[in-house]
Each structure stands twice: as C-alpha cells, then as structure tokens.
Amino acid sequence: MEKIKNIADFFRMYVEGFKKMTKLGKMLWALILIKLFIMFAILKVFLFPNFLNSKFDNEQDKADYVAEQLVNND
C-alpha cells in the first residue's frame, strides 16, 4: 500500500476510501444521508419552523413580542 506523500495523496485516500468501502460502511453512509434528509428536508421544513421568524420580520418586533411575554405572565 502506497503511503501518503502530499496533499493530493491525502484527498486520494478519501476518494479511494469511499470507492473501496465495505458493505457495512456503505450501509452506514446511506443511513446518515437518509437521516439528514429526514431531519433537514422534512422535519425542519415542515414541522419545525422558527416560531419568532415565522411571526415577525424584524428584530424589533421580536424583541417587543418577547418583552411582552416577559412582563405579562397571566
């Protein structure tokens, strides 16, 4: 096995690593990608909007709203 001598070899190590990945490695990468897709493309977009960003356009309105929540606690 040839050792890494320069930065190009270093990147080649990653490329080769992915190319020669074991079945287990491929399965884990698939799992990571599916998980990230579900988290960022589904959960974040459809189920977890930022509450204040979705209600207000600017920082002042957000500050006014939160301050109101802090002083009116009925």
Partner 1 sequence: MDLSLIDWSRAQFALTAMFHWVFVPLTLGLGVIMCIYETIYYRTGDEKWKRLAKFWIKLFGINFAIGVATGIILEFEFGTNWSNYSYFVGDIFGAPLAIEGIVAFFLEATFIGVLFFGWDKVSKGFHLASTWLTVGGATLSAWWILVANAWMQFPAGMDFNPDTARNELTDFWAVALSPVAVNKFFHTVLSAWMLGAAFVIGVSSYYLLKKRDTEFAKNSIKIATLVGIAGIVLTFWTGHGSAQKVAKHQPMKLAAMEGLYEGKAGAGLVGIGILNPSKEAYNDSENPFLFKIEFPKMLSWLAYSETDSYVAGIKDLVDGNEAQGIISVEEKMEMGKMAQQALKTYRTTECDSTKQAALIQLDENIGNFGYGFFKEPKNAVPPVGITFYAFHIMVLLGGYFLIFFIAYWFFNKKGILEKNKWLQILALISIPLAYICSQAGWVVAEVGRQPWAIQDILPLSASVSKIPTSSVQITFFVFLAVFSILLIAELGIMVKAIKKGVDNE
Q: Which residue shows structure tokens 């992915």?
A: 18
Q: Is 17 in the site for partner 1 (CB under 8 A)?
A: yes
Tokens of 44: 């974040």
Residue-wise burial string across 28-57, b where 16 or more C-beta atoms lie within 10 A, e elsewhere: eeeeeeeeeeeeeeeeeeeeeeeeeeeeee
Q: Is 41 in the site for partner 1 (CB under 8 A)?
A: no
Q: Is 27 in the site for partner 1 (CB under 8 A)?
A: yes
Of 28, 37, 41, 61, which one interacts with partner 1 (CB under 8 A)? 28
Residues near partner 1 (CB under 8 A): 1-4, 9, 13-14, 16-17, 24-25, 27-29, 31-32, 35-36, 38-39, 43-44, 47-53, 59, 62-64, 66-67, 69-71, 73
